[in-house]
Amino acid sequence: MKNQHQSNPKQAAGERAAGLVEDGMVVGLGTGSTTAYAIKEIGRRVADGLDILGVPTSYQSAFLAAQNGIPLTTLDEHPELDIDIDGADQIAGFSVIKGGGAAHTREKIVALSSKTFVVVADESKCSDILSHPVPLEVLPFALKLAIKQVIKLGGKVELRMGVSKDGPVISDNGNFIMDADFGKIDDPASLGEKLSQCCGIVEHGIFTGVDAVYIGKKDGSVEIKEA
């Protein structure tokens, strides 16, 4: 029998991870096209009686959750989440680079507020070593200082420009996004710590300590790796 997700590995991964959500949970709702499948599947289960609350990581995930009937809450009301499901731009082991959708600051806050952080992606995101440019959310006031500090750490910096907008991308928090290419990142935790110390950088897109990764394959299967 042909698997229904044969041509859609993102859908396979997202929907499978949505199965981790149980009655009574507070759930982090990540951003991006893979997580969108998880949000839609959670919405389908809510329509069937699943009783949960979601914490969105962006306007995108808030809008999608609302469209799919998922009741939302905030970190002020629920500072500890049961599970967070989110996508990634690159995965090596249990470290990932996020921020392709400029949402990594809120995504990291929600991930660090969750007991379990699950990453969903298709197999094209997997790598032996992280090397994807690292998204950095930067205070506009600090742009030049931030660039100087990142260059000092060995990064080649590009200010992310809008696609259907003239000028730079502005994050949901009103900041600029820079993409910093460090080549191969041998020690993601160490680079992350250094970036965290840069004045004017609000947050970087290196996430370590992922609890589980759900990798959708072209044949419709999902490989699950748990830390």
CB of residue 12 vs ligand 5RP: minimum separation in angstroms? Answer: 13
Residues 37-56 that bind ligand 5RP (CB under 6 A): none
Identify the residue among 30, 133, 155, 200 touching ligand 5RP (CB under 6 A).
30
Quickly list DSSP for 72-118: B--TTT--SEEEEEE--SEEETTEEE--TTS-HHHHHHHHHTEEEEE
At residue 20, φ and ψ (nearest 5 deg) are: -75, -15
- Assign 168 to helix, strand or coil: strand
61 touches 35 (CB < 8 A) = yes
Active site residue 226: no
Q: Of the listed 107, 137, 193, 203, which one is catalytic?
A: 107
Write down the least CB distance from residue 111 to ligand 5RP, Å.
10
| Min separation Cβ 225 and ligand 5RP, Å | 17
Full strand arrangement of the beta sheet holding 26-29: 53-56, 26-29, 81-86, 114-122, 212-216, 222-226
When the beta carbons of 145 and 225 are compared against ligand 5RP, the nearer one is 225
Closest separation in Å from C-beta 122 to ligand 5RP = 8
Q: Which of 28, 99, 200, 216 binds ligand 5RP (CB under 6 A)?
A: 99
Residue 91 touching ligand 5RP (CB under 6 A): no
What is the number of helices (H) and of strands (E) in the chain? 6, 13
Among 43, 54, 100, 155, binds ligand 5RP (CB under 6 A): 100
Per CB under 6 A, the list member of 29, 39, 88, 157 interacting with ligand 5RP is 88
Can you say how many angstroms the Cα of residue 7 is from the centroid of all Cα atoms in its chain? 23
Task: Identify the DSSP state of 124.
Answer: G
CB 177, min distance to ligand 5RP, A: 9
Among 28, 54, 101, 133, binds ligand 5RP (CB under 6 A): 101
> Quick check: 87 binds ligand 5RP (CB under 6 A)?
yes
And the tokens for 166? 């003239």
Which strands, in side-by-side order, build the sheet including 176-181? Answer: 156-159, 176-181, 134-138, 201-204
Give the C-alpha distances (Å, rounded to integers) separating 117 from 17, 40, 89, 111, 133: 11, 19, 16, 6, 22
Q: Which stretch binds ligand 5RP (CB under 6 A): 18-26, 47-55, 92-100, 209-217?
A: 92-100
Q: Which stretch binds ligand 5RP (CB under 6 A): 25-33, 63-71, 174-182, 213-221?
A: 25-33
Tell me the catalytic residues: 107
